[in-house]
Structure 1
Amino acid sequence: MDALSNVLSLLKINKSKVTGLDAGGDWAISFPAFEGIKFNTILKGHCWIKSEDEQNPLLFEEGDCALLTRGEPFIATNNLNSPAVDSSCVYDGKGGKITVWNGGGDFFLISISFDFDGDIGSMLTKALPPFVHLKNASNQVSVLQWAIQQLSIELMEDTLGNELMTNHLAQIMLLQVLRFWLGPGQERYTGWLAALSDQRLVRSMNAMHMKPDYPWSVAELGNIAGMSRTSFTEHFRKVVGQSPINYLIDWRMQLAVDMLIRSEKKILNIAYEVGYQSEAAFSTAFKRIFSCSPTQYRTARLDTSKQL
């Protein structure tokens, strides 16, 4: 499994909600900060989306899709001169229905929001810009629009296999957006996703993800990338923002957290699976990052889940 598939396979949706906006005339809506991510698709009309402190709004037209990744407040409007109304005045907060504003008829949008369980979602969204804009003409949009339509049905109806279908459709949507963003001509941000568009680094990234338990050395990873140890280290740090070994440690910890939460495996077995030869070594590394032992982390997360 390649590095991107590896990360997406660990994503678990905690909460999801679908809303629709049917607006008429001139309108502007101010949305507060939110958790997780939002997918928006414009089915009719157009609108600008901008952050509250940003001067350059992005224009989204009929058929376009947007991924909002940072949970930051934003304004959506079809007229940049219109005063913004707080979203609480527009939506009733229940979700799962179409909201009509100003009589409707001129603009229609479907918005799907996800809140991910655990730290993998944060690992993904931090590597992306606040807004990812997919034009209607791009190859990824047709599949994305289909997935959004199917997910809207799943979220509005209580059907068999709903939870599994929702997770799979969300992964499809994310994958389509990431394929677009990792394609040619896109602005790159420093981070692990940027390495996946680097023809040299992607080979070493995939190697670490396929065999996280292997005792990788920088020289071995550099050899896989076709680079010298020094050149590989410098290039990896420039693109990813951290050293190869630190990235490997972080990925091992993400895998460990997933196993702590979603399995009953013993700490020693988890340690072996993520490349540590003893429970003590694993616990020391884990505590350095999370400021608690693996057992304490598991207990705290399980207690939190019971309270929800």
Structure 2
Amino acid sequence: MDPLSQVLSLLKPQSYISSGFHAGGDWSVQFGSQHQLIKCYVVVAGSCWLAVDGLPEPLALEEGDSFVLPSGRPFRLASDLTLPSVSASEILPPARRGGEVRLNGGGDLFLVGSRFGVSGGHADMLLALLPPVVHLRKASEQAALRWSVERMMQELREGEPGGYLVAQHLAHMMLVQALRVHLAEGPGLGVGWFFALADKQLAKAINAIHADPARRWTLQELGEAAGMSRSTFALRFKETAGETPMDYLSRWRMLLACDRLENSGDPVSVIAPELGYESESAFSTAFKRVMGCSPRQYGRARKPAGSRTDAHVPLSPAQLLAG
């Protein structure tokens, strides 16, 4: 399995809901922290502005544009960003899944979106690997995401047998397609794992780590996988990913360990050697350094993903948009 597929698989998207949003006149809506949420939108008609927390420039969204917010940052949608904002939770009333809500009577903007949560105590760390926003403007890129969002709305609205499973697969497909397009555009400007994955040479080293995380990798070996000298590879990886290759290797092992601790009955004595640690104590030391607690403390604090009961709880458009 490739690195992006592995990261998305560990996120385990759930709690799907899709809805439509109409706006008219002058408006500005602030959406707070999207904790452990991923959101996909399509501008069906009209235009608006998107400002994502931490990004220096807002994005102008036009009819047909699609965008994905994978990292859970607060954001704002507005007809004019100079207008004072109101909180999304204050103006968006509850509605059924697949329904639509209106602001100022609608008429100027129609936006459809899908929202899904992710599970696991390590979800925040995984979401931090993804870009803050993906903006799709090419017609060929927009078509697949728009079809997926509208199909999800239909599935959730009509309640046909198997509709929830269809929505689950559509959510995965939307996210993968958007991130795949973003990767194809190249590294771009920024620092983080996703930028390193977009670098074709560094991606070879990341693929090697993910293919065999238990191996006792050296900088020399990873550099060779990337087709670079040891020193050049180490410098470029740190500059692009924001951490050393060995730090990334250790963190990826711990993310795999988190998943095992949450979703399997395997003891630490089994997990440790399978992730490349000679002893249980060495693994526990590494785990505490990365995760901030011992493996046993982590395992006791987490329930298996299958025991969660929130996947079918009805959500309002305010929750869809504002989390």
Q: TM-score range by the shorter chain?
A: 0.7 to 0.9
Distance 1:52 1:292, change over 3 A: closer
Alignment-derived partner of residue 319 in structure 2:
none
Alignment-derived partner of residue 5 in structure 1:
5
Alignment-derived partner of residue 194 in structure 1:
195
Provide the rounded CA distance (Å) in 1 between the counterparts of 2:165 and 2:31.
29
| Alignment check: 8 A CA contact 1:12 1:167 kept | no
| Residues 271-297 of structure 1 deviation map (CA, whole Å, 9 limit, x = unaligned) | 232222332322221122223222221
Alignment-derived partner of residue 208 in structure 2:
207
Q: Which has the higher contact order (CA 8 A, sep 6+)?
A: 2
Moved more, 164-173 or 253-262: 164-173
Structure 1 portions without partners, runs of 5+: none
| Alignment check: 8 A CA contact 1:20 1:111 kept | yes
Q: 2:27 matched to 1:27?
A: yes
Provide the rounded CA distance (Å) in 1 between the counterparts of 2:197 and 2:3.
8
Letter in 2 for 1:103: G
Provide the rounded CA distance (Å) in 2 between the counterparts of 1:54 and 1:264.
41
| Alignment check: 8 A CA contact 1:13 1:115 kept | yes
Distance 1:9 1:151, change over 3 A: same
Structure 2 portions without partners, runs of 5+: 311-323
| Residues 107-126 of structure 1 deviation map (CA, whole Å, 9 limit, x = unaligned) | 21112222211256434542
Provide the rounded CA distance (Å) in 1 between the counterparts of 2:18 and 2:169.
16
Distance 1:203 1:116, change over 3 A: same
Distance 1:106 1:4, change over 3 A: same
Q: CA deviation at 1:128?
A: 4.2
Alignment-derived partner of residue 228 in structure 1:
229
TM value normalised by structure 2:
0.84
1:1-308 mapped onto 2 (5 Å cutoff): 1-35=1-35, 36-51=37-52, 56-80=57-81, 82-94=83-95, 96=97, 97-118=99-120, 121-135=123-137, 137-162=138-163, 164-184=165-185, 187-302=188-303
Provide the rounded CA distance (Å) in 1 between the counterparts of 2:41 and 2:24.
18
| Alignment check: 8 A CA contact 1:17 1:95 kept | no
Letter in 2 for 1:141: Q
Number of aligned residue pairs: 307
Provide the rounded CA distance (Å) in 2 between the counterparts of 1:47 and 1:21.
12
SS of the equivalent of 1:25 reads coil
TM value normalised by structure 1:
0.87
Q: CA deviation at 1:221?
A: 1.0
Provide the rounded CA distance (Å) in 1 between the counterparts of 2:245 and 2:44.
43
| Alignment check: 8 A CA contact 2:34 2:73 kept | yes
Q: CA deviation at 1:185?
A: 6.2
CA RMSD of superposed structures (Å): 2.8
Provide the rounded CA distance (Å) in 2 between the counterparts of 1:54 and 1:5.
26
Q: CA deviation at 1:211?
A: 0.9
SS of the equivalent of 2:115 reads strand
